[in-house]
């Protein structure tokens, strides 16, 4: 509808000879300049390429930037009272129920419906008390109660993953995008300097 309305107004403007006014000519002159500048900038940066060698070289020199920190995979049970948490721990330790069953029945966290599974997480993603207990726990052991602002937790660590380099293929597109932006900016800056020397000297 907006397109139709614009067409109607343009037709009306032509009939009123608004395209012959000084205002119209001024707007067209500025629009022409902007369009030409956009085309010229596009031509300046379109030849920029990033080679496979440049990608690999950047990765090798900046490996420290492509690190995945230490993580753990854990499950937890969250309740409001410490006494309740102790009772659940006793039931698990006695073998009366598995950790996952106890989580499904008692945890106030939505993860309880998944047996308490929180998946994999790194440092800085959980509250301090929970994080410290999870990273210090032995795999398969149930630790707690751990008090946090949310209540009392029992934590079971399923796996620990050491810090490792992120594979080149996983960050290749990110590196390409960054290098392309850098090289385009350089090409743009060089062209601006060239044009200033030519037209403003």
- Confidence band (pLDDT; 50, 70, 90) for 165? confident
Q: How far is CA 36 from the centre of its chain?
A: 36
CA atoms within 13 A on the CB side of 7: 4
Residue 69 is classified by DSSP as P
Q: What are 148's two structure tokens?
A: 């946090």
In this prediction, residue 65 carries a pLDDT of 86
139-161 tens-digit pLDDT = 999 998 999 999 999 999 999 98
Instruction: List helix spans (H) across 16-159.
Output: 22-46, 52-61, 82-93, 99-106, 128-136
CA–CA separation, 177 and 173 (whole Å): 6
49-96 tens-digit pLDDT = 999 999 999 999 998 888 888 899 999 999 999 999 999 999 999 999
Q: In what order do the strands lie in the sheet with 117-122?
A: 117-122, 71-79, 151-161, 142-148
């Amino acid at each position: 509808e907006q397109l139709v309305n614009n067409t109607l107004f343009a037709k009306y403007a032509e009939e009123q000879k608004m395209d012959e006014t000084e205002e119209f000519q001024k707007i067209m002159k500025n629009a022409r300049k902007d369009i030409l500048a956009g085309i010229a900038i596009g031509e300046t940066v379109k030849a920029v390429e990033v080679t496979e060698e440049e990608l690999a070289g950047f990765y090798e020199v900046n490996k420290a930037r492509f690190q995945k920190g230490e993580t753990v995979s854990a499950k937890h049970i969250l309740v409001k009272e410490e006494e309740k948490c102790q009772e659940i721990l006793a039931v698990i330790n006695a073998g009366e129920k598995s950790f996952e069953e106890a989580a499904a029945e008692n945890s106030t966290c939505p993860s309880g419906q998944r047996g308490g599974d929180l998946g994999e997480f790194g440092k800085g993603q959980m509250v301090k008390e929970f994080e410290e207990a999870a990273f210090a726990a032995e795999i398969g052991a149930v630790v707690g109660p751990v008090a946090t602002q949310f209540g009392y937790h029992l934590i079971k660590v399923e796996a620990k993953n050491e810090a490792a380099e992120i594979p080149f293929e996983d960050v290749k597109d990110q590196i390409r995008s960054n290098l392309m932006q850098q090289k385009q900016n350089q090409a743009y800056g060089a062209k601006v300097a060239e044009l200033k020397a030519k037209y403003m000297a």
